[in-house]
Structure 1
Amino acid sequence: MFIRNISATLVLFAATLSANAQHHPTLPHVKNKIVVISHRGNHVEAPENTLASTKEAIACGADYVEVDLRTTKDGHLVVLHDAKVDRTTNGTGMVANMTLEEVEDLQVFNRNKKTHRVPQFKELLAICKGKINIYLDFKEADVAESWRQIKAAGMEKHVVVYLNKEAQYHQWKEVAPEVPLMTSLPKDVTTSEQLADFLKKLHVQVLDNVASPEMVKAANSHDVAVWLDVQSPTEGPTSWKEALNKGVQGLQTDKPADMVSFIKTLDTN
């Protein structure tokens, strides 16, 4: 009886360790001292959210390419920021009301006049494998199918999912509890105590809108990283230094090549 009880205890202990591990996913490995996230790909050099802008993000040495995920009328996953195709393509209408064939017939606006199109998620995954991590801004898509495609591409350990709704948190935790998650703090979370309460409800690994050094430190004390959005027409070393002085671990930028060069200078100072 004594041995049987020990065996039962060991099984329970192992199960507890496994469950705890699921609640503490590991962030992907990065190359740079400060995490460099290329916003919608390197869209200064190529149209946003295209295979070309993703390749440019890889070429400049960014740690992550940030892309947006949506679903077509017939259930295919495509990479596009807006709910409508109007701003970035020669078409009109909601992505959710279009078939994959209709979406792939669109041309993405591009000043260098080369033809680009809205890519499928699986195409982008294939390009990224072994070269760059994915910061997946999860707009409107099916979690199970997204995870299936991530696994099929062998990218399970190279994706961080940005959540836009609390419902998405529960969906991802159910389907893929090992995936690192990221979100924004609600506006009413302004103190370290409120932050701690928030993190008890949503076990995320990254936050993106923690502005004060005190709150960044509080997030880090809970093993939560902070990656700030710094992209703007006037961003550069001055604004990057200002953000880094808050103690953050990563920056999302519209100028990934310049930021990578800037980050390298920090290693020598």
Structure 2
Amino acid sequence: MRLNVNILLITMVLSGFCPTVFAQQALQPLPESKNAFIVIAHRGSHLIKPENTIASIEEAISIGADYVELDLRTTKDGKLVLLHNDQVDQVSNGKGKIKDLDLEEVKKLILKGKDGGLHHIATFQDALKTCKDRINIYLDFKAADVAQAYSEIKKAGMEKEILVYVNSSEQYASWRKNAPKMPLMSTLSRMAVTKEDLLESLKKMPLEAIDNIPSKELLPIIRSMGISIFVDVQNSSETHEDWSAAMKKSIQGMQTDHPQALIEYLEKNMIRNGLKEN
């Protein structure tokens, strides 16, 4: 009788044997980066420039970040724009939810930066043009149509420069259906603390990257499967100790509110390409 290959491989993993063929199976390649250790600028480099704006993207590019994390939402008239929260109040001089404003109304909103400049909410198209061949995108898919977003990505020729973070199983299914070659990322359930839990979770929703480690005991199996780990350290008061502690967990990158300081720290300590494995 011919054995089912997937069942055989899972059995091998559960027994502690993780062959290379399993590690590579079904994974899509992540965007190429010049640095082995990935620095992700959370909402752009937004300490001085307003978050999710073209200016914050340009700042992230200028300081040498590998990815810029951007949040995608939809206006009343179906246009894709960058905005973290569903309301415009916190970042602009406007009021209300982005889904209740059309693009022309959104374009009139003013965002003030600490640099004294006046900025605007960015469209997805403008963000794609700004990033193309300059910096990869970590796309936090907040509230948008997958087919529409992927269409704009294809028009910009950026299919190989984006990692998509999905926030639900519905988003995951839609991306796999509409863009099966796009690498996807999400958070592993904190309940997945055993090999069996992990394999069951990834069987339902295979991922190319994750942003958390539910249990340190799972690190060897996660690494053997070829899944990248980009942890969130973003905080207004990040320290060298935070970065050092995160790197010791065998991760491949960090999402930070202080990309310039993190890059300087990595370069000063000659670990821009990560810690050497023991």
- Normalising by structure 1, what TM-score? 0.89
The correspondence for 1:40, drawn from 40, 43, 48, is 43
Partner residue in 2 for 1:28 = 31
The correspondence for 1:266, drawn from 264, 270, 278, is 270
Task: State whether structure 2 residue 142 is matched by structure 1 residue 135.
Answer: no
Q: Which amino acid aligns with 1:266?
A: M
Aligned partners of 2:34 and 2:260: how far apart in 1? 14
CA-based RMSD of the aligned residues comes to 1.6
3-state DSSP class of the match of 1:88?
A: coil
Q: Which amino acid aligns with 2:40?
A: I
The correspondence for 2:196, drawn from 184, 193, 197, is 193
Q: Structure 1's 122 and 210: CA in aligned 2 closer, same or farther, altered over 3 A?
A: same
Partner residue in 2 for 1:210 = 213
Q: Which amino acid aligns with 2:30?
A: L
CA contact (8 A) 1:23 1:177 kept: no
Q: What is the deviation of 1:258? A: 1.4
Q: Percent identity?
A: 43
Q: What is the deviation of 1:223? A: 1.4
Q: Which amino acid aligns with 2:136?
A: N
Q: What is the deviation of 1:254? A: 0.7
- Listed as ranges, the matches of 1:86-105 within 5 Å are 86-105=89-108
Partner residue in 1 for 2:151 = 148
Partner residue in 2 for 1:171 = 174
- Farther off after superposition, 236-245 or 170-179: 236-245
Aligned partners of 1:22 and 1:145: how far apart in 2? 28
| Runs of 4+ off more than 4 Å | none
The correspondence for 1:231, drawn from 207, 216, 234, is 234
Partner residue in 2 for 1:124 = 127
Q: What is the deviation of 1:213? A: 3.2
CA contact (8 A) 1:217 1:247 kept: no
The count of corresponding residues between Structure 1 and Structure 2 is 249
The correspondence for 2:76, drawn from 69, 73, 78, is 73
Q: What is the deviation of 1:108? A: 1.2
Q: What is the deviation of 1:262? A: 2.0
Q: What is the deviation of 1:192? A: 2.4
The correspondence for 1:107, drawn from 103, 110, 119, is 110
Partner residue in 2 for 1:242 = 245
5+ residue gaps, structure 1:
1-20
